[in-house]
């Protein structure tokens, strides 16, 4: 864990290094992914079967080797412990309600020049959702990715997920049933992303690919951006907690650890103006960490990437630092979180006040937990229904309207040296 003080002489240099630290993958991954994608494009299902045998030790032969039937998902849902099923249903209901409110309005109006203008939104025909295997297979992620697609109106929603040694995760299947997923394919890695983008004999191509994954999956999405739509380039998760000294150190320590336990590359940062409180939080992190079943991951993350920044003036300094960090999650554990929030320009999601731990946002609050990481909140947003929709603008003129605005188009077309543009308007003028 790194400790910084804004009053230190070398603070700016060390903070700048922190801001620039991306904790992300390198060129080797990119080259391997390029090869896999070429192979899937060329050989289709045969390539998928080869990679799945080698990487997941799962043989793709019969139909049920390839695909998990809808009945299995329903059965997994019905077998859930009732408390867990209700929790999943509450989460799904709240996520659905929040995302429904994101549906964009259509526009259709005629302006003073008599020109009818507008924009119509429509869903993509098909979307693919990557669900990691193993440790990172979260039913909550399935809901967060699938529900916006369904709310957007996507007709075909396809899950791809690796099933190492043939094992699938019943919680994920239950969530797939609840979210209304249409197909579940037992393929993972960059090869699964390639199959979604290019299509194979078995798997029809989709138009948009979303969902979390390892460095290979993230790189495959990046390389296929433009062939399909993608949600975003995602890196390791991160939290920034801005807390004054009047918090319970145990609460803040738990928040920092909730991020650290995700991934050894995850990052937890505390900004406070109280040195004694900072020490109490650091101690509480150590105590709590030892009690976690996830302590190895959490410890590794906190030791390698954890940061405590001591500032002199929380109100003045913390928004400036927060905007430079542009973190995925920002907690404002202070008396007047609104005042700080008003000064935040760049953040994926903000958690206001002492009773809003980030974990409620991961599961049940309603807003999406798929958020921009690695300073991408400077320009990117969390997942929404808009990631599964596209806008078609439209224009309609009659002869009179063309008479009003056409001459300006002709002047500009001639100035740009595009005579056919000008002619297409000139011919239609009276």
Report which of 164, 156, 161 is spatially closest to residue 172, judged by C-alpha positions: 161
Residue 369 annotated in active site = no
Residue 328 annotated in active site = yes
Q: Is residue 427 close enough to count as binding a second copy by CB under 8 A?
A: yes
Taking CB under 8 A as the criterion, the residue among 103, 117, 304, 315 binding a second copy is 117
183, 261, 328, 358: which one is catalytic? 328
Q: Is residue 44 close enough to count as binding a second copy by CB under 8 A?
A: no
Q: Which is nearer to a second copy, 10 or 379 (CB)?
A: 379
* Shortest CB 7 distance to a second copy, Å: 26
Report which of 343, 129, 107 is spatially closest to residue 242, judged by C-alpha positions: 343
251: exposed, middle or buried (Cβ count in 10 Å: 0-12, 13-18, 19+): middle
Query: Could you tell me the strand order of the sheet in which 208-210 lies?
Result: 183-185, 156-160, 126-130, 208-210, 229-230
Taking CB under 8 A as the criterion, the residue among 36, 131, 178, 344 binding a second copy is 344
Bind-site residues for NAD(+):
130, 191, 214
Give the contacts of 252 (CB within 8 A, at least 6 positions apart). 241, 243, 270, 281, 284, 333
Q: Is residue 222 close enough to count as binding a second copy by CB under 8 A?
A: yes
* Residue found under tokens 């979307």: 127
User: Which residues ranging from 259 to 298 are in contact with a second copy (CB under 8 A)?
Assistant: 260-262, 288, 292-294, 298
Q: Is residue 115 close enough to count as binding a second copy by CB under 8 A?
A: yes
Report which of 280, 337, 283, 274 is spatially closest to residue 311, judged by C-alpha positions: 274
- The total number of residues shown for the chain amounts to 430
Taking CB under 8 A as the criterion, the residue among 60, 68, 73, 124 binding a second copy is 124
Tell me if 72 sits within 8 A of 256, measured CB to CB.
no
CA distance 387 to 232: 9
Query: Would you state the torsion angle of the CA atoms of residues 400, 404, 405, 407, taken in this order, to the nearest 10 degrees?
Result: 110
Residues 187-202: b if buried by 16+ CB within 10 A, e if exposed: bbbbbbbbbbbbbbee
Taking CB under 8 A as the criterion, the residue among 97, 290, 316, 339 binding a second copy is 97
Query: CB under 8 A: which stretch of 49-57, 160-168, 181-189, 339-347 binds a second copy?
Result: 339-347
Q: Is residue 37 close enough to count as binding a second copy by CB under 8 A?
A: no
Bind-site residues:
130, 191, 214, 237, 259, 262, 329, 362, 416, 421
* Shortest CB 157 distance to a second copy, Å: 14
User: Which residues ranging from 386 to 425 are in contact with a second copy (CB under 8 A)?
Assistant: 386, 390-399, 401-402, 405-409, 411-413, 415-425
Query: CB under 8 A: which stretch of 59-67, 69-77, 269-277, 382-390 binds a second copy?
Result: 382-390
Taking CB under 8 A as the criterion, the residue among 183, 207, 231, 273 binding a second copy is 207
Taking CB under 8 A as the criterion, the residue among 52, 140, 237, 267 binding a second copy is 140
58, 305, 329, 346: which one is catalytic? 329
- The three-class DSSP label of residue 409 is helix
Query: CB under 8 A: which stretch of 39-47, 57-65, 91-99, 308-316 binds a second copy?
Result: 91-99
CA distance 207 to 212: 17
The tokens for 23 are 């904790």
Q: Is residue 9 close enough to count as binding a second copy by CB under 8 A?
A: no
Beta strand ranges found along 9-85 (DSSP E): none
Q: Is residue 349 close enough to count as binding a second copy by CB under 8 A?
A: yes
137: exposed, middle or buried (Cβ count in 10 Å: 0-12, 13-18, 19+): buried
Q: Is residue 90 close enough to count as binding a second copy by CB under 8 A?
A: yes
* Shortest CB 158 distance to a second copy, Å: 14
Q: Which is nearer to a second copy, 49 or 151 (CB)?
A: 151
Q: Is residue 359 close enough to count as binding a second copy by CB under 8 A?
A: yes
- Catalytic positions are 328-329
């Amino acid at each position: 864990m790194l400790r910084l003080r804004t009053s230190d002489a070398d603070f700016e240099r060390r903070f700048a290094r922190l801001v620039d630290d991306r904790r992300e993958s390198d060129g080797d991954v990119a080259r391997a992914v390029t090869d896999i994608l070429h192979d899937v494009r060329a050989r289709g299902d045969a390539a998928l079967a080869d990679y799945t045998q080698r990487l997941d030790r799962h043989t793709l032969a019969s139909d049920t080797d390839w695909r998990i039937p809808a009945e299995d998902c329903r059965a997994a849902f019905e077998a859930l412990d009732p408390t867990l099923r209700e929790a999943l249903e509450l989460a799904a209901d709240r996520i659905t309600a929040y995302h429904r409110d994101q549906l964009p309005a259509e526009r259709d109006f005629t302006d003073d020049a008599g020109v009818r203008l507008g924009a119509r939104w429509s869903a993509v025909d098909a979307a693919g959702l990557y669900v990691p295997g193993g440790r990172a297979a979260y039913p909550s992620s399935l809901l967060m990715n699938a529900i916006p697609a369904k709310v957007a109106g996507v007709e075909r929603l396809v899950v791809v997920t690796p099933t190492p040694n043939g094992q699938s995760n019943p919680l994920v299947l239950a969530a797939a049933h609840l979210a209304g997923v249409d197909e579940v394919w037992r393929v993972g890695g960059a090869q699964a992303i390639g199959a979604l983008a290019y299509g194979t004999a078995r798997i029809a191509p989709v138009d948009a690919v979303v969902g979390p994954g390892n460095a290979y999956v993230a790189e495959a999405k990046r390389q296929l951006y433009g062939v399909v739509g993608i949600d975003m380039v995602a890196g390791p998760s991160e939290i920034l907690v801005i807390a004054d000294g009047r918090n319970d150190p145990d609460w803040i320590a738990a928040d920092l650890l909730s991020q650290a336990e995700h991934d050894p590359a995850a990052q937890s940062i505390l900004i406070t103006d109280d040195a004694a409180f900072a020490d109490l939080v650091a101690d509480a992190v150590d105590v709590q960490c030892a009690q976690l079943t996830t302590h190895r991951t959490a410890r590794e993350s906190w030791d390698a990437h954890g940061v405590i920044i001591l500032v002199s003036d929380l109100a003045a300094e913390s928004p400036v630092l927060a905007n430079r960090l542009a973190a995925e999650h920002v907690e404002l554990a202070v008396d007047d979180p609104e005042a700080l929030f008003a000064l935040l320009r760049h953040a994926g999601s903000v958690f206001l006040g002492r009773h809003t731990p980030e974990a409620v946002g991961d599961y049940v609050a309603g807003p999406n937990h798929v958020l921009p990481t690695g300073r991408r909140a400077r320009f990117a947003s969390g997942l929404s229904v808009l990631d599964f929709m596209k806008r078609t603008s439209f224009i309609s003129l009659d002869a009179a309207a063309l008479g009003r605005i056409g001459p300006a188009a002709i002047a500009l077309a001639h100035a740009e040296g595009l005579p056919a543009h000008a002619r297409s308007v000139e011919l239609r003028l009276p």
